[in-house]
Structure formats: structure tokens, C-alpha cells
Amino acid sequence: MRILSGVQPSGRLHIGNWFGAIRQFVKLQNDGHDCFYFLANYHALTSSQDKAFLAESTMHLATGMISLGIDPEKSTLFVQSDVPQVAELTWFLNCVCPMGLLERATSFKDKVQRGIQANVGLFDYPVLQAADILIYDSNVVPVGADQKQHLEITRDLAGKLNLAWGDNLLVVPEPYIVESTAVVPGIDGQKMSKSYDNTIEIFATDKATTKRCRQIVTDSTPLEDPKDPATCNVFSLIKLFASPEELAEIEAAYRAGGYGYGHAKNRLGELINAEFAQARERYEQLRSRPDDVKDMLAEGGRKARKVADATMARIREASGILTSY
Ligand code: ADP
Ligand code: TRP
């Protein structure tokens, strides 16, 4: 079974990325599946054309993913643009994609609503994502809930291309979404996202993490009063990290009163720092060896290109495109 997923190098990794996506990537890899994971740098170009930011985010993401447990010996880890064939497949998919399908895409509409200047790349984002998935004959795509519609579009486009040029040319993939962690809330209670400036970063110092936890938005219930854990942003995050026993204790403390949001925030900071202590250590070590990271990505790129070339040969042939070189 081929597993595939991508993350955009568009800022710093946060705990939403871990619970929604990367934790599943590691688990699927360690369960022995054939995993392809990549850094979606073509996608990142749709939202920023800042050269230094892209370069720095790409190295951060590669170093971070390896530190979190993606093992380039087990998984094919690569940079999207090392397989330019995906841009070619995007074109074929564009030509079987009705405009309406993209006009209905909520992530595009959301971004435009938030005042982001729409370029054609942003509009076409789901088609490039479909090409990423389909070019590697992927069966299963682990993602957070926000990617559900992109997966539906991918399945739709695979069907349309198969209908145009031949059954079974492309494998129709399934999304894999772990519902309990599908949407991790940010410090303001909205979905945690780099674009909302509400993230808790994975690779920050202990001190910065605790400080960030103190900024989580809570209501103004006084310390001594009982509190409802079900509506508290801090508690939602504690749930992701605490053992069942500790969670029950904290829940009881909320309901009893005399336990303030400050206590909960400090405990959350400690839990996060403990959870990522090892990964942070690995990150610090690997950060000083960027050439090793680049070598690992280059090797992944070679493997990925082989698979992509075979798919493209199939599609060129089936569609009547003349290849004369
Ligand atoms: P961001 O929204 O911060 O830009 P990305 O789009 O790079 O994050 O997401 C990379 C992966 O992490 C995707 O699979 C996405 O679904 C998942 N993810 C991002 N934010 C969250 C979140 N708050 N909760 C659950 N999963 C998330
Ligand atoms: N759109 C995804 C995100 O924002 C990133 C992505 C690009 C992706 N191509 C993909 C995810 C292919 C899964 C499969 O998180």
C-alpha cells in the first residue's frame, strides 16, 4: 500500500501539524508501509514569493520532520520540486477539470475572504495537489480535516482523467483522517494555522513555549470558581498531551474550583516541553548538518522521480501526446 502526504514549507511546524498529520506519517512508516512524504514548495509559492523565507522554511521543515521520526531510510522523503513531472501532470488534470470544481473549493474562498491576493496558482492549488497524489499511485493520504475537500477533488479528477483516456490509468486514493485530532485549536480557539498567527510551535525553547501557552485565550471566571473544561481552549490542548489519569484529575479540578487557568496553562507548557524534548534535541543536532539533510532529500527525489516518470509515460501514451525526443 502506497501512503503519501505533503506539508508546505511556509513557516514553522506547530502542534496542529503533529497531531493532524505528522504523527500519522510516523506511525504508518513504522507499521512498514511504503511511504512517500514531501515538502510542498510549489504550493508554498502560491502564498509567498519571499526567497529567503522559502529557503529557510524548507530546511526547517525537512530537519523538523526527520527529528519528529520520519526516517529517510524507511520513507521516501523529498522536495516536491525535485519531481517537476508533477507540474506536467497538473496540466493534464487542468484540461479535464471543470472551472466550477475549483470555484467551489472552500480553502480558496477562505483565503480570498481573508484578503489574500488571489493568483492563478492559488486557484489551481487543488489540481497541483491532485497531481502530487496521483503521480505516485498513492492509495492512502493521511491529512488533517482541512484537507478533506482537496482529497475529494483529487478523487474526482482521477475519475475524470480515467474517463477521458483509459480506465485504471490513475489510482483513486482514500483520505486518512484521525477524527479525534483532526482539528487542533490554536491559542485563540480557531483552527491552529500558520496563517492565523495562533500556533504553538514544536521547535521553540521551553521558555517560549510556556510563554505562548500563557497567551491562550480564556474567559474571565475567577480562580476560585468552578470552570467548564468542555469550553476551555487550554483544556482542549491538555487533552492531547496528558495521560488519562492526569486528565481526569485536571477535569475534576476545573469543576471543583480553586484551580485557575494560569495553573492549567503552566501545566500545558510542561506537558508540551516533555513531549517534544527528544525531538528538539535531535533538531538541534541535525540543524548543524544541513548538507546531510540535503543529501537525504536528494536520494528521496531520485526514488520519487522514477515512479513519476513511469506514470507520465503512461499518460502521455494514453492521451495521444507525441513524444519525439
Ligand atoms: P497550516 O494550516 O498551519 O498552514 P499546513 O497547511 O502546512 O498547516 O498543514 C500541514 C498538515 O497539517 C496538513 O495535513 C493539515 O491538515 C495538518 N494540520 C494543519 N493544521 C492543523 C490543525 N490545526 N489541526 C489538525 N491538523 C492540522
Ligand atoms: N495542501 C496541503 C496542506 O496545506 C499540502 C499538500 C500539498 C498535500 N500536496 C499534498 C497534502 C498532497 C497531501 C497530499 O497541508
139: amino acid identity, one letter: N
- pLDDT band with cut points at 50, 70 and 90 for residue 48: very high
Q: Give CATH for domain 204-275.
A: 1.10.240.10
Query: How high is the pLDDT of residue 114?
Result: 83
Tell whether the model's pLDDT for residue 266 goes beyond 90.
yes
CA of 129 to the centre of ligand 2 (A): 6
Residue range 36-43: mean pLDDT, rounded: 98
Q: Is the CB of 193 under 6 A from ligand 1?
A: yes
Calculate the average pLDDT of the chain.
Answer: 96
Query: How high is the pLDDT of residue 281?
Result: 98
Quick: pLDDT tens for 161-202: 999 999 999 999 999 999 988 899 999 999 999 988 999 999
Comma-separated ranges of CATH 3.40.50.620 domains in the chain = 2-183+289-319
Residue range 16-28: mean pLDDT, rounded: 97
Q: Which residue has the higher pLDDT, 113 or 153?
A: 153
Query: How high is the pLDDT of residue 116?
Result: 81
Tell whether the model's pLDDT for residue 323 goes beyond 90.
no
Report the CATH architecture of 2-183+289-319. 3-Layer(aba) Sandwich (3.40)
Q: Which of 8, 123, 174 to mutate to test the pocket of ligand 2 (most atoms within 8 A of CB)?
A: 8
Using CA atoms, how far residue 101 sits from 107, 126, 231, in Å, is 12, 10, 36
Q: Is the CB of 15 under 6 A from ligand 1?
A: no
Tell whether the model's pLDDT for residue 141 goes beyond 90.
yes
CA of 27 to the centre of ligand 1 (A): 17
In the annotation, is 191 catalytic? yes
Residue range 27-56: mean pLDDT, rounded: 97
Quick: pLDDT tens for 112-129: 888 888 899 999 999 999
Residue range 299-310: mean pLDDT, rounded: 98
The Cα–Cα gap between 129 and 113 comes to: 21
Q: Is the CB of 5 under 6 A from ligand 2?
A: yes
- pLDDT band with cut points at 50, 70 and 90 for residue 312: very high
pTM of the model: 0.96
Comma-separated ranges of CATH 1.10.240.10 domains in the chain = 204-275
User: Can you tell me which atom of ligand 1 is nearest the CA of 5?
Assistant: 14
Residue range 267-289: mean pLDDT, rounded: 98
Q: What percentage of the chain carries pLDDT values higher than 90? A: 94
